[in-house]
Amino acid sequence: MNFSSKLLEDAVNEFSKLPGIGQKTALRLVLHLLNREPEEVASFGNSIIKLRQEIKHCSICHNISDNQICEICSSTKREKEIICVVEDTRDVMAVENTGQYFGVYHVLGGLISPMDGIGPSDLFIDTLVQRVSTGPVKEVILAISPTMEGDTTIFYLYKRLKAFNIPITTIARGIAFGGELEYADEITLGRSIITRVPYENSILK
């Protein structure tokens, strides 16, 4: 792609580094910004810079937050004894959008994937074990996408947590194998949470 401006080329190259954004889409976005008022573009740029500089991760659940403890963990209306374990913040948002869950979360920060060099020590698993061990916890829900990496992670978590003698459940498989939680529709995901099943049932079959 030939550019009439080095500044334009640099901006397009930066936008095209974003996931799912090719050079043509990046060019369209950059040209859109060029047609906006300077104040709007400055506000857009400043919001990204401020996000990167000031964003925090909750010291309890590791979810993205504006404060040291996120709004969900600090809320008196949430059931602190029920922990829903998810891969990342996108899954927290997906579960919250169902309106069917009122416990708290634990964000792993990824999934176990030996092919990608990601092992248990690279995830927030030890802090989950610590939360369960110090309690009180009545149930751990493993709301993790039913992919190969997801199932590997679920099995590992089950082995780490089963000694605490608390219910360990997984969301019902209304979501197709290989599907990502964040792309499931709210009704299907909500029903999967409500009809969650003990993990032991799935490994005994």
- Kindly write down the DSSP assignment for every residue of the chain, as one continuous string: ---S-HHHHHHHHHHTTSTT--HHHHHHHHHHHHTS-HHHHHHHHHHHHHHHHH-EE-TTT--EESSSS-HHHH-TTSEEEEEEEESSHHHHHHHHHHT---EEEEE-SS--BGGGTB-GGGTTTHHHHHHHHHS--SEEEE---SSHHHHHHHHHHHHHHGGG---EEE--TTSPTT--GGGS-HHHHHHHHHT-EEHHHHHH-
Average pLDDT, the chain: 89
Has residue 178 got a pLDDT over 60? no
pLDDT of residue 198: 80
* Residues paired with 107 in a beta bridge: 86
In tens, the pLDDT along 30-75 reads 999 999 999 999 999 999 999 999 999 999 999 999 999 999 999 9
- Percentage, residues of the chain above pLDDT 90: 74
For residue 182, the model assigns a pLDDT of: 60
CA distances from 30 to 10, 20, 35, 96 (A): 10, 15, 9, 33
pLDDT digits (tens, 9 = 90+) for 86-118: 999 999 998 998 888 999 999 999 999 999 999
Residue bearing the bigger pLDDT, 95 or 184: 95
Q: Are strands 79-86 and 139-142 parallel, antiparallel or unpaired?
A: parallel
- pLDDT tens-digit profile of 122-156? 999 999 999 999 989 999 999 998 888 999 999 99
Sheet of 79-86, strands arranged across: 103-107, 79-86, 139-142, 168-170, 197-198
pLDDT of residue 191: 67
What is the pTM (predicted TM-score) of this model? Answer: 0.81
Residue-level pLDDT at 179: 45
Q: Under a CB-based contact definition with an 8 Å cutoff, are residues 85 and 141 in contact?
A: yes
- The Cα–Cα gap between 7 and 175 comes to 45
Whether residue 149 contacts residue 181, with contact meaning beta carbons closer than 8 Å, is answered with no
